[in-house]
Structure 1
């Protein structure tokens, strides 16, 4: 399916190719909107898997490619990424060839997790720009995985988990995504290595972050990735992610929040991919109930393995929750975080969620599940000091304690002050002359300069 519209032959444009997960789709579409607002024409290549509704983006041309995922039975994220990077090579190549025949393409912007696209771009002399949808600090942690492996950290994951990784402060051994490594070790190492090595061959690198937040890590990034780098985030401050949501928002959550006291509610959401078992869900429920604090809790269908929604929660838990909590299947997160009633965010520490929380000045409780979430949560708690990391996982006593520390104790007030300072810096960086504003100007100039090299 190609949504060609009425565009003219040989029209200048940019081709974008997002990884088809919610946390990757959102920033890629936001970036596309940003570039379109600066005068660029956009063609979006997308897999059948999680294909968006084109009618929401009449200003983009959509080109769907086959991926074979539905027939494969592949399910977990690591295996999906591996499968798609194998199965999408020829469909992507053929689609890109058609686009380059019909238009003058300035460059292709792909997710970092599409490493195969570098060789295809090189073969047709097309500049490839990489969008890394994570933080810079977590990207550098991924780039150091081979070092961690050589140092033997992956062979000591069951012992001394609180020991620091001396080569990469402030990370601890338990901040390495051990679950993924131990269950899919070679696949994970190969995916990470390909992502890092092929990114190094790209023409430029874009991050959804702002330099004031990650300034200490920028020199490390520049030393390892010798290319133009643009920090133009937070993307969602330009364009909301609501239109790219794969799930339907429950707007009743806003109506419920309207009835709550200012800064009184803890918002709880573990993102669009993370899963847990019934026991962990019940630990979360008891921790929330025992904290005696109001909360808005997102339990996504599929969050609990083998469960449709909340049927695994005992009645006594549901009764105690109903006194002060509200459960929904999905919520309009940006609207929730900006609501006057929200005083804290218990998050999986995905980068989009972390940025959205910082933008609204909402301190966090962090429960990381996999990938970049491990590094993000460590930086939130130990570097930026704007949240609390649950060091023991999901245990009701630690949960209750963390909620009280964040919501009602002086420690939470300190976090709130620090994150409000970061919120103010975001407002400055996006304004004329600010760091993200200037970086966007440089990105626009850079892409425009590519036209002569692709003629």
Structure 2
């Protein structure tokens, strides 16, 4: 007879979007489940599997494995070896990247067909941008959960902007602030601040794609979010009206405390620097992992931060920190000029 304390072992199949900002929380969630005795298989591409492979699972005897699948980059017109969205030469290629990602359905289905009934996953946890996972879940009779790596604040804003057709007027300026309706707080946003799929109305397919995303989310057994109730109680309460079940399971970054961090600067160094500044005085500048900014724009941004006389944290992603920008930093002696009130992070921020 099994012990009363013994938990049943389930097999979770993770299907993340191949970009670092999604792969990190997905692997963190895998660690959390595996620490509770569960089995996790994470769909990866070869380059991403190599980038995220470490000894964590081995050291802690965790049942986590990668399933490397060939990524058809060149078949859709992407550069060879482009297996992560944050490595795209241009954000205009995002649609092609999603197209290549959707082509993973067939090899994944073939892999599932090769498993016996005892080895099949009992639950699929996928990114919202893969509606085809609902077809896999039905075909193999497994539960499906959608994992959002963003907050409920972001999800509710996105939902309400779409529901109330906030930006459907084509003559609306890109920089005109518009109130987002039916939020716990007064939030204004401009069209220029919207993500790629939200503002590119020139692509008629964008609305169709977003509709598929919402339908896939609505049909999932549950939605899990990398957030926690105490951080945004009003937004959690509001968004749970639109999904079957909403579970806040964050912050998953806590599972990185005992393993290699993706950050390019020590957590303690950045926290100590922040503690040395006055409260509510620091400007945080970061454009995320997907967008590309030209060297001249970054130089102008640096001069603006210097002229502001405000303390700042400036994150420059790896692909944007070019040899030309590095040369400018050195010739201008920029870091010395802002020493004490400017913290510049090259790469991933803590």
Contact map agreement 1:157 1:178 (CA 8 A) in 2: no
Aligned to 2:291: 274
Aligned to 1:207: 225
Cα offsets for 1:241-286 (capped at 9, x unmatched):
97473xx7356x9779879982378665443323222343123211
Aligned to 2:72: 68
Give the whole-Å Cα distance in 2 for the aligned partners of 1:140 and 1:259.
Answer: 33
Find the residue that maps to 2:48 and give its secondary structure: coil
Find the residue that maps to 2:293 and give its secondary structure: coil
Deviates more, 1:13-22 or 1:90-99: 90-99
The one of 316, 329, 332 equivalent to 1:299 is 316
Contact map agreement 2:295 2:320 (CA 8 A) in 1: no
Aligned-residue offset at 1:190: 2.8
Cα offsets for 1:182-219 (capped at 9, x unmatched):
37633432332211111111111111111122222234
Aligned-residue offset at 1:101: 4.9
**TM-score normalised by L of structure 2:** 0.75
Aligned to 2:133: 117
How large is the RMSD of aligned CA atoms in angstroms?
Answer: 3.5
Distance 1:147 1:263, change over 3 A: same
The one of 86, 111, 120 equivalent to 1:95 is 111
Give the whole-Å Cα distance in 2 for the aligned partners of 1:46 and 1:314.
Answer: 38
Aligned to 2:252: 235
Q: How does 1:52-451 map to 2 (within 5 A)?
A: 52-56=51-55, 57-58=57-58, 59=62, 60-69=64-73, 72-73=77-78, 75=88, 76=91, 78-99=94-115, 101=117, 103-149=119-165, 153-158=168-173, 161-166=176-181, 170-174=186-190, 177=194, 180=197, 181-182=199-200, 185-225=203-243, 227-240=244-257, 243=260, 245=262, 249=264, 262-263=276-277, 268-292=285-309, 297-303=314-320, 309-311=325-327, 315-316=331-332, 318=334, 321=337, 323-324=339-340, 325=342, 327-330=344-347, 333-334=349-350
Segments of 5+ residues of structure 1 without an aligned counterpart are 1-10, 335-455
Find the residue that maps to 1:125 and give its secondary structure: coil
The one of 15, 24, 27 equivalent to 2:25 is 27
Segments of 5+ residues of structure 2 without an aligned counterpart are 1-8, 80-87
Find the residue that maps to 1:213 and give its secondary structure: coil
Which structure is higher in helix share?
1
Contact map agreement 1:142 1:192 (CA 8 A) in 2: no
Aligned-residue offset at 1:85: 3.9
Give the whole-Å Cα distance in 2 for the aligned partners of 1:64 and 1:91.
Answer: 10
Find the residue that maps to 1:273 and give its secondary structure: coil
Give the whole-Å Cα distance in 2 for the aligned partners of 1:172 and 1:294.
Answer: 25
Find the residue that maps to 1:230 and give its secondary structure: strand
Aligned-residue offset at 1:122: 0.9
**TM-score normalised by L of structure 1:** 0.60
Aligned-residue offset at 1:130: 1.0
Q: Size of the alignment, in residue pairs? A: 317
